A and B are shown apart, each in its own frame.
Chain A
Amino acid sequence: MKRSAKDTEESARGISRRALVVGVAQLGIIGALGIRMKSMQIEQADHFRLLAEENRINIRLIPPARGLIFDRNGLPIAANEQNYRVVMVREDAGDVGEVLERLTKIVPLDPEELARAMEEMQRRSPFVPVTIADRLTWDDVARVNINAPALPGISAEVGLSRMYPWGADMGHVVGYVGPVSDYDLSRIDDQDPLLQIPKFQIGKTGAENKLEHDLRGSAGTKRIEVNAIGRVMRELDRKEGTSGADVQLTIDARLQTYVQARLEGESAGAVVIDLENGDLRAVASAPTFDPNLFVRGISSKNWRDLNENIYRPLAAKAVQGTYPPGSTFKMVTALAALEDGKVTAEETIRCRGYVEVSGTRFHCWKRAGHGNVNLHESLKQSCDCYYYEIGQRVGIDKIAEMARKLGLGVRHELPLSAVAAGLAPDKAWKAEVRGEDWRIGDTVNASIGQGYVLASPLQLAVMTARIATGREITPRLVRAIDGVEQPSGLGPDQGINENHLRRIRESMSDVINNSRGTAYGSRITDETMRMAGKTGTSQVRRITAEERARGVINNADLPWERRDHALFVSFAPVENPKYAIALIVEHGGGGSAAAAPIARDIMLQALADGEPQLSAYPSNVRGKIEEQQRKIRERIPPGSKGLERA
């Protein structure tokens, strides 16, 4: 339509008014937007900046290198070995199947492991490296690197993994490490963030476990920038952690490996203790296990073999195993009676082959009896009747008190798994634990180390050490942590009458060095190394009256697990004792035949700090010993095969 000039003017003015209203409204909204921007970007800038930083920055832990474990001479017992592995990044590989096929031709790949890796790769983001093969040799890695152009996405990495150069010979002492498990986390109250790292290695048993605190070290951190899907863009900064402390044990690795070798074939435990400071020179249990198997993840077959073996390779018999100490306990009964004045060293007691106590007959091992015996003869010939008598005179509480004084029935704190407390029974114990009154027959049994008495080889070694020195010797396994010497195990004088101790020691010497002693066959002929000791044969079954009437069945005719335990404790040299040894051969038969010869060999090895001269042995056994030494020289520690000794 045609508008008049007036209409046009009016229309334009109307539009202008409305346009201004629209413009003002727009200005208002723009102002609101500006205020919103200012509020977010100025007032809340810090808040949002923080959120942005949290988005982008991840803090990752850097696991520290685990502390090393050395023997007393600085030989490594637990080391960190460079471990080569091959990892694959899926997105760089292109055709994963083809690359893996090529890789298979170069390095040995376990199909099971490969399947696991493939599965993991599908699950993870394509840029996450997945381990294809672990524990490769340097040659394998070199081949992978040479063929790198044909293997896109594949790269070799180096890490640290625990290695035990002495293999099975140190298994029970050092224990092993393994990846932290949910069970570990539920069991230990440890806030260390390192434990949250998947597959972080912690000590599972033995010294590795008990010294975890020192060995672990503390975590380092690195801050990395990640993008929205978690890909690492760059490392912003890093703070290195502290490596774990190195630990030096008191163990003499060469002696330990000798002891393990000497015990091979037996189910046995042996402890060698240094009388100067309580240092445990060797803590051996046989059979043993290879800790390296556990670090790599033990196969179910190996695990079954270890578990089903009736000789129990996983049990550290030297410290965990408790046995009736048998005749090796007689020194305790004797000292208790002597100290209490219930018997003198000269007094003789008649042995008729048995004693009758409240209607029950207790037999001496020698059916015919020993006749009149004094303290000296009773120990030398190991007469039981003598101890039945003096045990009744002094009473069980005094015997138990002496036993504890000498380190029996007391748990010795050592960084080893399941150190046993043993048992030095008394009236209060029986009332409390068994709810029964102590009977005189219990005292009779206990006086010769049977009945309720239980002791580990470690405790018997401590007992022998305390008898040999008269001082309170406590065993020590850790010599130094991070170069700091640990307190010596040599304690104060125990206050036992030196005359009494001397009598006991002289008798123990005659056990071995007197031709009528029970262990004369295991004597040391080298005057400077002569040994004192005591045999023990502890019953694990009850001998019934009928059996006794028919004649006690010979050990050799019994099934293994019903035979007697063979024990032997000793110290040497007699004049100036340096070491004490306790040894048990489970179900080995008589202590003099089964245990004493082994203890002698170990003692000589310790005293000579290496292979002893044949002249230290009686001439009649030198040929046999020479053959035995040759065999042990050629022996490589089981489980350490293929591992280089550092």
Chain B
Amino acid sequence: MSYLEYNTKYVPTGFRKLIYLNWPIIILLTAVASTGFVMLYSVAGGSVDPWMAPQIKRFGVGMALMIGVAMVPIWFWRNLSVLAFGGSLLLLVAVELFGEVGMGAQRWIDLGFMRLQPSELTKITLVMVLAAYYEWLPTDKTSHPIWVIIPLLIILIPTALVLKQPDLGTAILLLFGGATIMFAAGVHWAYFGTVIAAGIGTIVAVFQSRGTDWQLLKDYQFRRIDTFLDPSNDPLGAGYHITQAKIAFGSGGWTGRGFMQGTQSRLNFLPEKHTDFIFTTLAEEFGFAGAFALLMLYLLVIVFCIHSAISNKDRFASLLTIGVAMTFFLFFSVNMAMVTGLAPVVGVPLPLVSYGGSAMLVLLVAFGLVQSAHVHRPR
């Protein structure tokens, strides 16, 4: 393999790299994470324990990792891509085989200081390997069926493994994140059009099949879909959480009920109020103003990432940045859609805000790659 000759003459070296970091993104990420700290303080009933303090520590570690990753030249990470992806696939298989000792489904491997979820790791490595693949592939072969099948397999193998755990949220992130890179790399529109049409067709077929001899889903699966579509059908059962989340969300109004005044979260009507459903607490306590402000912060992160991708002439760096941005986007949009009742509850945390170590570290490392791409871009 040979690589694009970098004109490294103008690439900053040493501590000068710090100046060339994409500072707006760093500031935005810190703002988002700080929102999370405030909310974790609130849902703990006005206490730094048990969530806010560990979250700050993790964010500090994550930021350090991000800067560290950013300092390393992007071509080093590119050369590592295949190895990293292979490693994370092995880990996925490992948890599939060995993780299930003891109690039920285990999605993680204990590293001592933290529990590593290979599926989280895969979110980065998949983006890396696809970006590297398309950098390696001659541009004119991008839409050739054979060269389309290879990245499809690269996406579908880890997706299938994750789906088997089962972790629907991560599977969606991998699938859509990977597809986005393929799309950005220039794979022909027709492929995407066909897949979308087939998807819609399948959904229609599934619903049409209900109550007929060739019913495609089991009755209980249909009932779950019903509950998702109208949670009030089952307000005390499966629909309880989403109903309560919507009540919390909607009762916020313009400016919310005030910091630490959200009755739904304070009185424990909200499920998972410090993890997946933390956005409802934010919306309840700070209202539309607070919820929309956070959405705008996320939007700005995306905007800066895409700007960085467009302004980067390096194919690997651009695709990587777009992939990370898409993953980040999928995180918050799926989470928000989920807590506002637009999507089924699939267990995706709100990035950098929800309490949890794995997702935060993985995301910050991913942004480290984005920073490295930014710092070491060809000039």
| Interface 1/0 per residue, A13-38 and B, CB below 8 Å | 01110111111001101101110111
For B168, what are the chain A residues with a Cβ–Cβ distance below 8 Å? none
A227 near B: Cβ within 8 Å?
yes
Of the 9-residue stretches B29-37, B285-293, B361-369, which lies at the interface with chain A?
Answer: B285-293
Given the known interface contacts A14-B186, A225-B267, the answer about A36 and B340 at a Cβ–Cβ threshold of 8 Å is yes
- Is A106's CB within 8 Å of the partner chain B? no
Chain A residues positioned under 8 Å from B292 (CB to CB): 34, 37-38
Which of A26, A33, A37, A52 lies in contact with B251, CB distance below 8 A? A52
B283:A37 contact, CB within 8 angstroms: yes
Which secondary structure dominates where chain A touches chain B? Answer: helix
A22 touches B267 (CB 8 A): no
Query: Which of A15, A22, A56, A227 is B315 in contact with, Cβ under 8 Å?
Result: A15
Partner-contacting stretch, out of B14-22, B111-119, B145-153, B306-314: B306-314
| Interface-lining segment among A3-11, A265-273, A286-294, A622-630 | A3-11
B259 close to A (CB within 8 Å): no
Q: Is the CB of A19 within 8 A of B318?
A: yes
Indicate if the CB atoms of A20 and B310 lie closer than 8 Å: yes
Which single residue of chain B is at the shortest CB-CB distance from A29? B333
Contact check, A42 vs B288: say whether CB atoms are below 8 A apart.
Answer: yes
Which residues from A are CB-within-8-Å of B180?
22
Contact B326–A22 (Cβ < 8 Å): yes
Contact B340 A37 (CB under 8 A): yes
Contacts of B5 in A (CB 8 A): 2
B254 and A30 within 8 A (CB): no
* Residue A138 CB within 8 A of the other chain: no
Partner of B318, one of A12, A32, A233: A12
A12 — which chain B residues lie within 8 A by C-beta?
312-313, 315, 318
Cross-interface CB contact of A33 among B269, B284, B333, cutoff 8 Å: B333
- CB pair B253–A45 under 8 Å, yes or no, is yes
Interface residues in B279-309 by Cβ distance below 8 A to A read 283-284, 287-288, 291-292, 295, 298-299, 302-303, 306, 309
Residues of B near A30 (CB, < 8 A) are 295, 298-299, 302, 333
Chain B residues with CB under 8 A of A298: none
With CB as the reference atom, state the residue of chain A lying closest to B306: A23
Contact flag A42-B253 (CB < 8 Å), given A1-B2, A37-B291, A55-B264: yes
Hey, which chain B residues are within 8 Å of A53, CB to CB? 263
Chain A contact-residue range equals 35 or more
Is the C-beta of A104 less than 8 angstroms from some C-beta in chain B?
no
Determine how close the nearest CB of chain B comes to the CB of A171; give it in whole angstroms.
49
Q: How far is it, in angstroms, between the C-alpha of A320 and the C-alpha of B56 when the chains are bound?
A: 82
Query: A1-B1, A22-B322, A42-B254 are known contacts. Are A227 and B299 too (CB-CB below 8 A)?
Result: no
Cβ of B336 under 8 Å from chain A: yes
A60 interface residue per 8 A CB criterion: no
> Is A229 in the interface zone, CB < 8 Å from B?
yes
CB distance from A23 to the nearest CB of B (A): 5
Question: Cβ of A147 < 8 Å from any Cβ of B?
Answer: no
Q: Is the CB–CB distance between B184 and A22 below 8 Å?
A: yes
Note all chain B residues with C-beta closer than 8 A to A23: 302-303, 306
CB distance from B7 to the nearest CB of A (A): 11
Q: Is the CB of B310 within 8 A of A33?
A: no
- Decide if B186 touches A15 in the complex (CB within 8 Å): yes
Any chain B CB within 8 A of the CB of A515? no
Say yes or no: A41-B299 contact (C-beta < 8 A), given A8-B313, A11-B315, A225-B267. Answer: no
Residue of B nearest to A227 (CB): B267
The closest CB in chain A to the CB of B287 belongs to A41
**Chain B interface helix/strand/loop/mixed:** helix
CB distance from A236 to the nearest CB of B (A): 11
Which of A2, A21, A40 is the one whose CB lies under 8 Å from B249?
A: A40
Judge whether A44 is part of the interface by a CB distance below 8 angstroms.
yes
- Kindly state whether residue A187 has any CB partner on chain B within 8 Å: no
In the bound complex, do residue A41 and residue B315 qualify as a contact, i.e. CB atoms below 8 Å apart?
no
Q: Is A365 an interface residue (CB 8 A)?
A: no
Neighbour of A2 across the interface among B2, B288, B291, CB < 8 A: B2
Q: Enumerate chain A residues within 8 angstroms of B123, measured Cβ to Cβ.
A: none
Our pick among A33, A48, A226, A227 for the contact of B246 (Cβ within 8 Å) is A48
Distance in angstroms from A371 CB to nearest chain B CB is: 92
The docked-state distance in angstroms from the alpha carbon of A117 to that of B5 is 83
Q: Is the CB of A55 within 8 A of B309?
A: no
Contact of A41 with B250 in the complex, beta carbons under 8 Å: yes
Query: Is there contact, CB below 8 Å, between A11 and B302?
Result: no
The B-contacting residues of A in range 572-606, CB under 8 angstroms, are none
Q: In the complex, A14 Cα to B185 Cα: how many Å?
A: 8
Q: Answer yes or no: A160 CB below 8 A from chain B CBs.
A: no
Given A26-B329, A41-B249, A55 and B267 contact (CB-CB distance below 8 Å): yes
> Is B11 engaged at the interface, CB distance under 8 Å to the other chain?
no
B2 pairs with A14, CB closer than 8 A: no
Residues in B with CB closer than 8 Å to A301 are none
User: B248 contacts the other chain (Cβ, under 8 Å)?
Assistant: yes
CB distance from A229 to the nearest CB of B (A): 7
* Given known A-B contacts A23-B302, A55-B267, A40 and B246 have beta carbons under 8 A apart: yes
Q: Which residues from 169 to 190 on chain B have a C-beta closer than 8 Å to any C-beta of chain A?
A: 180, 183-186
Alpha-carbon distance between A598 and B252 when the two chains are bound, in angstroms: 80
Is the pair A15, B306 in contact by a Cβ cutoff of 8 Å? no
**Which residue, of B185, B249, B312, has the highest number of chain A Cβ atoms within 10 A?**
B249
Closest CB-CB distance, A227 to chain B, in whole Å? 4
Contact between A15 and B249, CB atoms less than 8 A apart: no
Residue among B244, B250, B322 making CB contact with A49, cutoff 8 Å:
B250
Instruction: Tell me if B247 counts as interface (CB < 8 A to partner A).
Output: yes
Contact A15 B185 (CB under 8 A): yes
The reply to whether B333 and A2 form a contact with Cβ atoms under 8 Å apart is: no
Q: Is B136 an interface residue (CB 8 A)?
A: yes
Contacts of B310 in A (CB 8 A): 15-16, 19-20
Q: How far is the CB of B317 from chain A (nearest CB, A)?
A: 10
Contact A227 B249, beta carbon cutoff 8 Å: no
Across the two chains, which residue of chain A brings its CB closest to B298?
A30
Closest to A18 in B: B184
Measured between alpha carbons, how far is A179 from B172 in the docked complex, in Å? 60
A228 sits at the interface (CB 8 A) = yes
- Check if B66 is an interface residue, CB within 8 A of chain A: no
Q: Is A47 at the interface (CB under 8 A from chain B)?
A: yes
Q: Which parts of B182-211 form the interface with A (CB within 8 Å)?
A: 183-186
Enumerate chain B residues within 8 angstroms of A36, measured Cβ to Cβ.
337, 340, 342
Q: Does A558 contact B (CB under 8 A)?
A: no
Contact across chains for A1 and B138 when beta carbons are under 8 A apart:
yes
Q: Give chain A residues whose Cβ lies under 8 Å from the Cβ of B322.
A: 15, 19, 22
Which residues from chain A contact B302 at a C-beta distance below 8 Å? Answer: 23, 26, 30
Does B130 lie at the interface of the complex (its beta carbon under 8 Å from any beta carbon of A)?
no
Q: How far is the CB of B325 from chain A (nearest CB, A)?
A: 8
Question: What is the CA–CA distance of A225 and B186 in the complex, to the nearest angstrom?
Answer: 58
* CB <8 Å contact, B183 and A18: yes
Is the CB of A51 closer than 8 A to any CB of chain B?
yes
Q: Which residues of B contact A229 (CB under 8 A)?
A: 268
Would you call B278 an interface residue if the criterion is a C-beta within 8 Å of the partner chain's C-beta atoms? Answer: no
Give the contacts of B140-169 with A (CB-CB under 8 A).
none
Inter-chain contacts of B47 with A (CB < 8 A): none
**Cβ contacts under 8 Å, B138 to chain A:** 1
In the complex formed, the residue of A with least CB distance to B291 is: A37
Residues of A within 8 A of B295 (CB): 30, 33-34, 37
Q: Are B309 and A19 in contact (CB under 8 A)?
A: yes
Chain B residues closer than 8 Å to A45, beta-carbon distance:
250-254
B79 within 8 A of A: no
State whether A41 and B4 are in contact (beta carbons under 8 Å apart), knowing that A8-B313, A15-B186, A23-B303 are contacts in the complex. no
Q: 5 A–B contact pairs at CB < 8 A?
A: A3-B139, A20-B310, A34-B295, A38-B292, A52-B248
Of all A-B residue pairs in the complex, the 7 with the closest CB atoms, nearest first, are A48-B250, A227-B267, A52-B251, A41-B288, A228-B268, A45-B253, A40-B250
Interface of A toward B, CB cutoff 8 Å: 1-3, 7-12, 14-16, 18-23, 26-27, 29-30, 32-34, 36-38, 40-42, 44-45, 47-49, 51-53, 55-56, 225-229, 233
Q: Contacts A18-B185, A33-B333, A229-B268 given; 17 further ones with Cβ under 8 A?
A: A2-B4, A3-B315, A8-B4, A10-B139, A19-B310, A21-B183, A30-B302, A37-B288, A37-B292, A37-B295, A40-B250, A40-B340, A41-B253, A41-B283, A45-B250, A48-B247, A228-B268
